[in-house]
Chain A
Amino acid sequence: MYDDKLIVGYDSSDDASVYLAREDLAIVQTVDFFPPIVDNPYEFGLIAAANSISDIYAMGARPITALNLIMVPSCLPLDVVREILRGGADKAWEAGLVIAGGHSIEDEEPKYGMSVMGLAHPDDLWHNDTPRIGDVLLLTKPLGTGCLTTAMKVELVSKETEGLVIDTMARLNKNGSEAARFADVSAATDVTGFGLLGHAAEMAGSEKACTILLDSKNLPFLPEALDQAAGGILPAGAYKNRSFVGEKVKFDPSVPLEITDLMFDPQTSGGLLLAMPEADVSEYLSEMERRGETASVIGQVTEFRTHPLEVR
């Protein structure tokens, strides 16, 4: 069925679907769920919820309601299920959205996530593949969660870093998104399973419209991530992302392998990648600082050079 009010749907690689309810009101809808990435069920609930809500923030919308989706084996103690849901409820509270219901089924491996609905004025929506030439690119969370959660499985990471990884994944992209509302954002997405370069490739588009130029020296990384990556603690997704992005990216030969590996590292509940005019950057950075967060300027959008992505 075709409905011309569905303004963002399957044919786009955007972060969520968008339905035009009224001329001045867009409904943004998304769904995401995954198996536990950390041992603690409460923290898993926080992370899964932050990750689900993130797509709404990446569209420049405001989340309003969510439905829980939970899959658990029948042998899982009820306390554990409650802890997962408590994590989700706490994140929903922090995001200012209402959990309106949900659905649970039995499954061999636990999984949790949410379907989230958000609202926005259609003119305020951000798309992920419309970067403007000349704009600057910002990233709101450090990279390395895929690599470090892999390392955490065999306890290769210090407790301090482990806590930081969990906090990073559990952090909402609320501030990153709200702090940019004033800015003339030309493109936005959240960095998740395809890694920084996979999502940057989507942003650059396929029409040779521009080149996204990334400065490897300005990339934020979680502590210990570079060392673990250099030691070969990378998830299979990092290699899949590398082969998927393939010829779209040109690396300067001086960029170390562990940095390029982490640029392909699949992220769970990663930060926002935002393109905005250079003139808006300092106000955005001070607003982020005021909210107790940081963002890094990691690159810029230029006229098409030789590849959609260039890293130096």
Chain B
Amino acid sequence: MKTVDARGLSCPEPVFLAKKAMDAGEYPFAVLVDDTTPLENIKRFANQNKQTIKVYEADGEYTITFEK
């Protein structure tokens, strides 16, 4: 699965990268972030674009998988 590493990036970059991956259309893909701000922003982005996501947290990092 393709993973976009958005760790250490500040907003709006993580959402922008998620949008690029979504537009590429290669499902499933994951976006990796290390802060709650990009996590919350990507949740909103996914909701606006009617995407189904799963969030997995480990050691303060979040893997957000876009399923479709």
Partner of B43, one of A151, A156, A232, A258: A232
Closest to A227 in B: B48
Chain A nearest CB from B25 CB (Å) reads 18
Q: Please give, as numbers and ranges, the residues of chain B lying within 8 Å of A229 by CB-CB distance.
A: 44
- B-side binding surface: helix, strand, loop or mixed? helix
Evaluate contact between A154 and B12: CB separation under 8 angstroms: yes
- Please name all residues of chain A whose beta carbon is closer than 8 Å to the beta carbon of B45 when the two chains form the complex: 231-232
Cross-chain contact of B11 among A150, A258, A261 (Cβ < 8 A): A150
**How does the 8 Å CB contact mask read for B35-67 relative to A, with 1 for contact and 0 for none?**
111001111111111000000000000000000
Nearest chain A CB to B66 CB, angstrom units: 13
- Contact mask for chain A residues 218-258; partner B; CB cutoff 8 A; 1 contact, 0 none: 00000000000111111110010000000000000000011
In the complex, what's the smallest C-beta–C-beta distance from A150 to chain B, in angstroms?
5
B6: Cβ under 8 A from any A Cβ: no
Interface size class of B (residues with CB under 8 A): 10 to 19
Of residues 10 through 36 on chain B, the ones whose CB sits less than 8 Å from some CB of chain A are 10-13, 15-16, 35-36
- Nearest opposing residue in chain B for A243, CB measure: B36
CB neighbours (8 Å) of B42 from chain A are: 232
B11 contacts across to A, CB distance below 8 A: 150, 233-236
- A153 part of interface (Cβ distance < 8 Å): yes
| A-B pairs with beta carbons under 8 A, tally | 47
Q: Report the minimal beta-carbon distance from A127 to chain B, rounded to whole angstroms.
A: 33
**Smallest CB-CB separation from A234: which chain B residue?**
B41
Question: B16 CB to closest chain A CB, in angstroms?
Answer: 5
Give the complex CA separation of A234 and B41 in angstroms.
7
B32 to chain A, nearest CB (A): 16
Chain A contacts for B43, CB-based, 8 A: 232
A233 touches B37 (CB 8 A): no
**Distance in Å from the Cβ of B35 to the closest Cβ of chain A?**
8
Give me 9 A-to-B residue pairs in the complex whose CB atoms sit less than 8 angstroms apart, sorted by A's number: A150-B11, A154-B16, A156-B12, A229-B44, A230-B47, A231-B48, A235-B37, A239-B37, A261-B44
Apart from the given pairs A231-B45, A257-B44, 18 other A-B contacts in the complex at a CB distance below 8 Å: A150-B11, A150-B12, A153-B12, A154-B13, A229-B44, A230-B47, A231-B44, A232-B15, A232-B40, A232-B44, A232-B46, A233-B12, A233-B41, A234-B11, A236-B35, A239-B37, A239-B40, A261-B44
In the complex, the 6 A-B pairs of residues with the closest C-beta atoms, listed nearest first: A232-B44, A232-B41, A232-B45, A236-B37, A231-B48, A154-B16
